[in-house]
Amino acid sequence: MKVALDVMGGDYAPGEVIRGAYLASQEFKDLELLLVGKASLIEDCLRSQKINFKFSIVDAPQKIEMGDSPALSVRRKKDSSIVKGIELLKNKEADAFVSCGNTGAIVCASTLYLGLIEGIERPGIALVFPTLRGLSLIIDVGANIDPKPLHLFQYALMAEIYFKRVLNKEAPSLGLLNIGEEESKGPEFLRETSSLLKENFSNFIGNIEPKDIFMGSCDCIICDGLAGNIALKVSEGFAEAVDYFLISEVKKDFLGILALGVLRKSFKRFRKMIDYAEYGGAPLLGVDGVIIIGHGRSNAKAVKNAIRASLREFETNINEEIREKVKN
Amino acid sequence: MKVALDVMGGDYAPGEVIRGAYLASQEFKDLELLLVGKASLIEDCLRSQKINFKFSIVDAPQKIEMGDSPALSVRRKKDSSIVKGIELLKNKEADAFVSCGNTGAIVCASTLYLGLIEGIERPGIALVFPTLRGLSLIIDVGANIDPKPLHLFQYALMAEIYFKRVLNKEAPSLGLLNIGEEESKGPEFLRETSSLLKENFSNFIGNIEPKDIFMGSCDCIICDGLAGNIALKVSEGFAEAVDYFLISEVKKDFLGILALGVLRKSFKRFRKMIDYAEYGGAPLLGVDGVIIIGHGRSNAKAVKNAIRASLREFETNINEEIREKVKN
């Protein structure tokens, strides 16, 4: 299987991205990696890191920066790693594309070059994250900030298939993120979505409140991109604040430092639980191809896990199933 | 000063609400409490709790339930504690109203009976919360789920005044909650709001990302009600999950239990940091009166602190200042 990897995207690119590629090449047999980025930079980086593995380089001298306007940069920077990488997918020269770069540009280029699965109206970014009772999936976390009920309905359809095939759970539960459990709560478009989901999904459990996301009471959480992005990023920030606060509190006295030694394992497990790097990237569902968006702050392990997510999604061939389901 | 307290609102009403009233009566001199609720229930409750303090009872035999439709219940349940309490404010028989009941109904009844401050288009719920660097305020956390740039602009205006007067900080910084720091990010209405704030507030620091909320990098965070509600409730749920996870992890072995003993103080401080009960209720800004909305799960301490918040707001007379500022 061939994965095109955007070597220029992410806060720690290209170094950590290339190290992630190396880790993936060691772990996954039959993986062919296409490193997309500025060729001279990739070669320098490999030399300085003294690592060696099987890969090809696809030269992409331009870079879309994190602050660039998605629509403009995708049109103007045809030689960027994001556009080049997605073109590889379009031309069947790669089976999946993985990038930790500008999310908006990835969404935009994917929609423009690959198109959407027939019948799907908008792509959505799904994210698998840990809860107290196992993994949950939330869609959309930022692709679509002007959502209509039909978009959210289609997210539910795609989330269900993804959860079934990639996370191996039959009939995962579906919930709609809203400010209250009651059907009467929230803005008009969420109330309409709720009716649509109720009519069409027997496993729809109704509105789910933001405070219950981490309890694991719902497998697939459906929401608009603004809400989902805020939910995701607030928890990330909160986790960091908690971590910082607890550690600085505990270190205030000598007994605390001793106790911290004892508790190291627990803290480690806690950090692992809240560490996005463990869970790989976020699949962009609805586009006609396998696209994984990694976190901007991805380290090598996160890049490796994003590549793993692309392998799993490609193997399960969920896009075919989505195509069939939307037809009906 | 006279505070009307909704004794029927909240998950632990009337018991904890009445105990909160008692605590407030002990702590704040010159406080006159009007307990609004079903008179017989209040009397029973006081008898069983064996507490005694100065108060009057305003009989309100109806109750607006948490799941009731705000608009309908406010019109149909004229004898509910929420409607009766807000009428006391309207008739100048009380200086402030405090309730832990149905948030939508409180917003609706306040707007209907008290009206908005002249020139203000929509009320907003503000919430003061702890960060790593002190207190911040976020507005709106759920009153207005269909926000226009002008509404958000007016939230900024009110937040600034509240922060200056009630939290005693000159020139608090203002930020707009959005999915990215760059001005180009987010939906149209947030981009327009950003321009408006930039033009009118010298202390506007631009977009603030959800992950930075708890870092305390911004005093007043402006957002739409859906986003704010999600930010707030997600962190609440996350805090609970963290708490639960850490404690259950640590208790897994004997050394962990010993270490937990040592760390008890730190955990306690952490819990206090994330305990909404410490920070009192949320002021409903923009309505022509002092309204404090308490958390649905308020215990006696939270009720007492919500009453304290109403006293502070009334004393500072910020509504007059808002009225003046909006005129210009």
Three-class HEC string of A24-89: HHHHCCCCEEEEEECHHHHHHHHHHHCCCCCEEEEECCECCCCCCCHHHHHHHCCCEHHHHHHHHH
Beta carbons within 10 angstroms of residue A168's beta carbon: 9
Considering only CB atoms, which chain A residues are within 8 Å of B249? 266, 269-270
| pLDDT at residue number A181 | 84
Cβ distance B47 to B18 under 8 Å? no
pLDDT at A49: 86
Q: How far apart are CA A257 and CA A250, in angstroms?
A: 7
pLDDT attached to residue A278: 67
Task: Report how far residue B222's alpha carbon sits from residue B227's, in angstroms, rounded to the nearest whole number.
Answer: 10
Tell me the per-residue pLDDT of B26-56, one tens digit each, with 9 for 90 and over: 999 899 999 999 999 999 999 998 888 889 9
What DSSP state is assigned to residue A13?
T
Task: Among A195-209, A306-320, B154-168, B244-258, name the one with the lowest average pLDDT.
Answer: B244-258
Q: Which of residues 144-173 of B touch A (CB under 8 A)?
A: 145-146
Amino acid residing at A180? G
- A237–B210 C-beta distance less than 8 A: yes
Residue among B211, B53, B287 nearest A295 (CA)? B211
- Interval A21-37: pLDDT, tens: 999 999 998 999 999 99
Q: Which residue of A has its CA nearest to B177?
A: A230
Q: How far is A1 from chain B (nearest CA, A)?
A: 34
Percent of chain A's residues with pLDDT above 70: 93
A259 to chain B: closest CA residue: B259
Number of residues that make up chain A: 328
- Contact between chains at A239 and B238 (C-beta distance less than 8 A): yes
Q: Chain B, 271-290: which have a CB under 8 Å from a chain A CB?
A: 273-274
Mean pLDDT confidence for B78-95: 97
Residue A132 contacts B where some CB pair is shorter than 8 Å: yes
The C-alpha atoms of residue B24 and residue B10 are separated, in whole angstroms, by: 17
Does the pLDDT at position A299 exceed 70? yes
Q: How confident is the model at residue A221 (pLDDT cuts 50, 70, 90)?
A: very high
Q: What ipTM describes this predicted complex?
A: 0.79
Burial class (CB in 10 A: 0-12, 13-18, 19+), B170: exposed
- The answer on pLDDT for B276 being more than 90 is no
**B288 Cβ contact partners less than 8 Å away, ≥ 6 residues apart:** B114, B115, B116, B117, B319
Q: Convert the pLDDT of each residue in A39-91 to its tens digit.
A: 999 999 999 988 888 899 999 999 999 888 899 999 999 999 999 999 999 99
Residue A227 with chain B: CB contacts under 8 Å: 226-227, 230
- A269/B contact by beta carbon, under 8 A: yes
State yes or no: pLDDT of A248 exceeds 80. Answer: no
- CB of B91 within 8 Å of a chain A CB? The answer is no
How many CB atoms neighbour CB B92 within 10 A?
9
Q: Which of A226, A263, A273 sits opposite B179 (nearest CB)?
A: A226
- Which three-class secondary structure string do you get for B259-280? HHHHHHHHHHHHHHHCCHHHHC
Distance from CA of A294 to the nearest CA of B (A): 16
**What does each C-alpha distance from B145 to A230, A312, B95, B229 come to in angstroms?**
15, 38, 28, 9
What per-residue confidence (pLDDT) applies to A243? 73
Task: Please indicate whether residue B88 or residue B211 has the higher confidence score (pLDDT).
Answer: B88
> Looking at residues B16-23, what average pLDDT do you find?
96
Q: Where are the alpha helices (DSSP H) in chain B?
A: 15-27, 39-49, 70-76, 81-90, 103-113, 149-166, 188-200, 225-250, 254-273, 300-316, 318-327
Residue B270 pLDDT > 70: no
DSSP state of B92: T
Locate the chain B residue with the closest alpha carbon to A67: B182
Structure tokens at A315: 């193997």
pLDDT band for B146, please (50, 70, 90 cuts). confident
Contacts of A258 in chain B (CB under 8 A): 259, 262
Residue among A188, A210, A240 minimizing CB distance to B230: A210
Q: Which two tokens stand for residue B322?
A: 């808002």
Query: How does the average pLDDT of chain A come out, rounded?
Result: 91
How much is the average pLDDT of A187-216?
Answer: 93
Name residues 187-206 of chain B within 8 A of A (Cβ): 187-188
A175: tokens are 């919930």
Work out the pLDDT band at B57, boundaries 50, 70, 90: very high
Among A128, A111, A97, residue whose Cα is nearest residue A228: A128
A35 within 8 A of A317, measured Cβ to Cβ: no
Both tokens of residue A243? Answer: 């971590």
| A237: nearest Cα among B203, B184, B221, B204 | B221
Residues in A 18-77 with any Cβ partner in B closer than 8 A: 67, 69
Position A153 scores a pLDDT of 97
Q: Which 8-state DSSP code applies to residue B212?
A: G
The Cα B135–Cα B172 span in angstroms is 11
